[in-house]
Amino acid sequence: MSKTLNAIIVDDERLARKELILMLNDFANINVIGEAADIKTAQKLLSENSVDLVFLDIQMPGESGFDLINSIPIKTKVIFVTAFDEYAIRAFDVNALDYLLKPVNPKRLKETIERIEELSKNDSTAENSKKLLESDRLLVTLNSKLQFIKIKNIIYISAAGDYTEIQTGDNQKGITFKSIKEWEARLPENLFARIHRSTIVNLEFVERIEEWFQKSYRIHLKSVKEPFDVSRRYTSKLKERFS
């Protein structure tokens, strides 16, 4: 049986709070212990109760959900609820577990709750709570424009100085200011593999792996003209993934 998790809902819209409470009633392990229409009330709830989850609206009159972050205990998981896509990437940057777009989709909410249950069951660390899902989207600069991309559509990520380059399946290139190490920690391990100190690839796009010189290897990816070198450090792990 899953552990019961105490939750609060912070949203200035009363109807939005009530709708979310009704949806959460379908999950026996989620116990909504309070709701708040503003940051001050939310801070009071957090100080007086043991709260496992905060469903937090981002944009409220005269204040922002981000203003509450410093008042939320480290062990408490945050799920941002917003009508504004533009906030999605910042939600991840402040270590929110997930974000839900309004109106909240029941299927999407179910995915979030299942993710929470899995993390609780495995007693995951704070680092693991940052893990991205294949279905997650990120806001990145693609061809000089901010656009959302799905994690599963990333072909590869490569280091480029102080930032990283992303190549997507629809032949677009983007940049982010996350390091390769940060990407490696957050990307789903079943889908991505690091092949070099400067490169991470999507295994679904691997076309072939060929032996190169001195027992080294190169990897060819679909829709990518040039192959990538596989460093010896990562060769055995990569071969295991395809064995």
Domains by residue range for the chain, with CATH: 5-125 (3.40.50.2300), 138-241 (2.40.50.1020)
**What does the H/E/C string look like for 6-56?**
EEEEECCCHHHHHHHHHHHCCCCCEEEEEEECCHHHHHHHHHHCCCCEEEE
Percent residues over pLDDT 90 in the chain:
46
Cβ atoms of 184 and 199 within 8 Å: the answer is no
Mean pLDDT score across all residues of the chain = 85
Least confident of 61-65, 97-101, 120-124, 138-142: 120-124
Which pair of structure tokens corresponds to residue 36? 């708040």
Give the pLDDT score at 216: 82
pTM (two decimals):
0.54
* 213 vs 100, residue with greater confidence: 100
Residues 202-228 have a mean pLDDT of: 91
Q: In what order do the strands lie in the sheet with 163-168?
A: 145-150, 137-142, 173-176, 163-168, 154-160, 199-202, 192-196
Element (H, E) at 156: strand 154-160
SS3 206: strand
Distance from the Cα of residue 215 to its chain's centroid? 37
User: Above 70 in pLDDT, residue 77?
Assistant: yes
Residues 57-80 have a mean pLDDT of: 83
Q: Helix 106-121 and helix 14-24: axis angle, to 10°?
A: 60
